[in-house]
Amino acid sequence: MSGEKEGGAPACDIARILSILPHRYPLLLVDRVNSLVIGEEIHAVKAVSFNEQFFQGHFPGRPIMPGVLQIEALAQAAAILAIETLELAGTGKLVYFMAIEEAKFRNPVEPGVLLELNVGFVQKRARVCKFWGKASAEGKVTCEVKFTAMVADPPAG
């Protein structure tokens, strides 16, 4: 999978995202993948709606998407990139955070925007990958971060 499909359809629609990630509502934070270059980077989108559960308490009268959820959205985009790059779709493998570094929050994310999620590899190995991530809304960077994740089997249970 590289770039957009014919006709401008997203490189990954929600059905494909659900087949790659184990996350489900309310914690699924990637709605669409606009482009994915295997082994390099991904551009995904989260449609931020006022109906999100976290807006009820963060903050009443001034709804702002929590920074940790912006990082989680970037991590989910990174997981899609890693799973597609390492050809692990359908294996049940999970991508776990190991480290979050240099997180910076630049501008608030409010309801009604498309949160652009850009993530790329810094380093990739069979089990551990390092990524850079940048989220933006309406042309303004909202979050920048570097993080490390591990590909692993799901817990036995």
83 assigned to some structural domain: yes
Task: Identify the domain containing residue 107 by its residue range.
Answer: 6-152
Residue where the block lists tokens 């925007």:
113
Q: 3-18: b or e for each residue (b if 16 or more CB lie within 10 Å)? A: eeeeeeebbbeeebbe
1 assigned to some structural domain: no
Distance CA 43, CA 57 (A): 29
Distance CA 107, CA 26 (A): 23
89 assigned to some structural domain: yes
When divided into structural domains, the chain yields a total of 1
Per-residue pLDDT of the chain (157 residues; tens, 9 = 90+): 445 433 444 589 999 999 999 999 999 999 999 999 999 999 999 999 999 999 999 998 999 999 999 999 999 999 999 999 999 988 889 999 999 999 999 999 999 999 999 999 999 988 999 999 999 999 999 999 999 999 999 888 7
Q: Is 58 tagged catalytic?
A: yes
87 assigned to some structural domain: yes
Output the domain CATH number for residue 105. 3.10.129.10
74 assigned to some structural domain: yes
What is the chain's length? 157
Which is catalytic among the residues 58, 93, 124, 130?
58
Tell me the pairing of strands 128-137 and 41-47.
unpaired
